Structure 1
Amino acid sequence: MDKHVGIIGGMGPDAGVEFFSLLIRKTREMTAASTDQDHIHVTLESNPKVANRNVAICEGEGVKECGDAMEAAARRLKLVECDFAVLVCNTAHYFQPSVIKGLSGTPFLSMIDVCLNNIEAHFAEMKSRSTVGILGGKGCMVGRVYQGALEKRGIEYFVLDEARQDKAMEAIYCVKQGKIGEARTTFKPLLDYMVSQGVKSVILGCTEIPIIIKEDFELPEGVKFFDSCDLLADTVVRVAKGLENLEDVL
């Protein structure tokens, strides 16, 4: 029997919708779903009213409010009896303890862990390791959401300097405002700079960034991208459809 998936989204709204669309597309691709009933039971808890995570982490304003909102969202998913839950916002994983508290025993599948599992699998396949570049929101960087996880696994990483990180935030906020073209113009030099520093593997550690590089965006050659949102969607479909055990990916 398929598993019921709970999604905490809304941060931002476009990213939550994009993730839901990814689940539908991947279910068709991976299981040849052809009827409504072949798709996954999903409950999307989309709350764009959560206080700004970047401001909370970087400036200390609204930290409790963010944690409380994360916990409340998780409690609502607990009430609908989902089999496991995910959080579709990299930066919000800073508040993961609040999510786990709200879920009260319902398994939580971390986007960060899924992304790093895929990086380690790639390294094993290539039989070599390389420095991993991290592209994400300022709160994600200041909160060391990915840096801490990479350090625990002994993986070296590269992050943008403060000025370039501020430009990355400009691009992210452009996506939230629906200004995709402007976001791309701002973002491309940042990616080019990171690659110029010898980075061959890049984490797309913000759910707005995949929206920037969709379709006709010119990606540099020879670079492996780890799209945290896409990788999480792939894992969710496999687990929900019984193609992989939940315990094996937690």
Structure 2
Amino acid sequence: MTTPPQSRPRPLPQKIIGILGGMSDQATAEYYRLLNEGLNARYGGWDNGEIVIVSVNFGNIQHFVRQGEWESAERYLSGKVDALERAGADVILCMSNTMHRVVEPIMAARSTPFIHIADPTGEAIRAAGLTQVALLGTLATMRSETLRRRFQDRFGITLLTPDEADQTTVDRIIFDELVRRDLRPESKAEYLRIVDGLRGQGAQGVILGCTEIFLLIGQDDRPDFPVFDTTGLHVAAAVAFATEETGAEA
């Protein structure tokens, strides 16, 4: 049974959610908002989350990604994970699909729990009975063989990606517009055109594989075509983890 807010011990024992943020500031703000909304929905009353954010300089991140300096990115983010662990994080989230490329191996060497953004997405797709879905994201995400293997090996899911020209378009809109919350109707139309093209190639749904894409398109834009928002699914997994032993769930 759910414990009534007035009957809970104070301060309420909670798991601390650690966010590796700043990639971008827009996505980080949405994660904070959505986590607290989700936790309040579980707890009720005035309770929400205990959250630690270590926010990086996005200028460094975009440089590492666009120049392919992945070793430098790993060193940089490893120090930020250190800071989250020193702050007492009980679980760590990297709120960038792209930077899982370096954060996944960082976390593999540590004991702090880590929720990989692909896993709740893969679970949702498998639960929907789908086996072939489209993927939108940065160039690094759409071209990641490691990500393809994770979806295939863990969930039996094949990823379809746009052609090279459309990949460049998707990436440009992310870096030049969405990370600044510059939401343009013409860019939305481009994304939906690309989604429709992938649907025509056999995609059974689409993964919004960048944590800003949901700001531009979502399920309401294609009601009859499953849309898997990695931001929302990642947040939901973190809320479930954080409330697992608090009596917040019915």
**Structure 2, gaps ≥5 residues long:** 1-12
CA distance in 2, matches of 1:169, 1:152: 26
Q: Which residue of 2 aligns with 1:122?
A: 128
Structure 1 residues 83, 50: CA separation in 2 closer, same or farther (over 3 Å shift)?
A: farther
1:46 aligns with 2:30: no
Superposed CA offset, 1:163-203 (max 9, x none): 11001012212112332015324322212222222322211
- TM-score normalized by structure 1? 0.83
- Alignment counterpart, residue 45 of structure 2, candidates 20, 34, 39: 34
Q: CA deviation at 1:48?
A: 2.5
Q: CA deviation at 1:65?
A: 1.7
Aligned residue type for 1:183:
S
Superposed CA offset, 1:203-245 (max 9, x none): 111001111126xx8612321111111011111111112269x
Contact conserved, 1:11 with 1:89, CA < 8 A, in 2?
Answer: yes
Q: Which residue of 1 aligns with 2:9?
A: none
1:175 aligns with 2:178: yes
Contact conserved, 1:57 with 1:143, CA < 8 A, in 2?
Answer: no
- TM-score normalized by structure 2? 0.83
CA distance in 1, matches of 2:131, 2:244: 33
Q: Which residue of 1 aligns with 2:231?
A: 229
Contact conserved, 2:118 with 2:151, CA < 8 A, in 1?
Answer: no
Identity score, percent: 23
Q: CA deviation at 1:121?
A: 2.1
Task: Describe the SS at the equivalent of 2:99.
Answer: helix
Of 3-12 and 177-186, deviating more is: 177-186
Structure 1 residues 195, 221: CA separation in 2 closer, same or farther (over 3 Å shift)?
A: farther
1:5 aligns with 2:17: yes
CA distance in 2, matches of 1:59, 1:142: 15
Contact conserved, 2:104 with 2:116, CA < 8 A, in 1?
Answer: no
Q: Which residue of 1 aligns with 2:7?
A: none
Structure 1 residues 50, 179: CA separation in 2 closer, same or farther (over 3 Å shift)?
A: closer
- Over the aligned positions, Cα root-mean-square deviation in angstroms equals 2.3
**Structure 1, gaps ≥5 residues long:** 124-128, 245-250
1:99 aligns with 2:106: yes
CA distance in 1, matches of 2:59, 2:181: 19
CA distance in 1, matches of 2:50, 2:81: 17
- Alignment counterpart, residue 70 of structure 1, candidates 77, 91, 98: 77
Q: CA deviation at 1:57?
A: 5.3
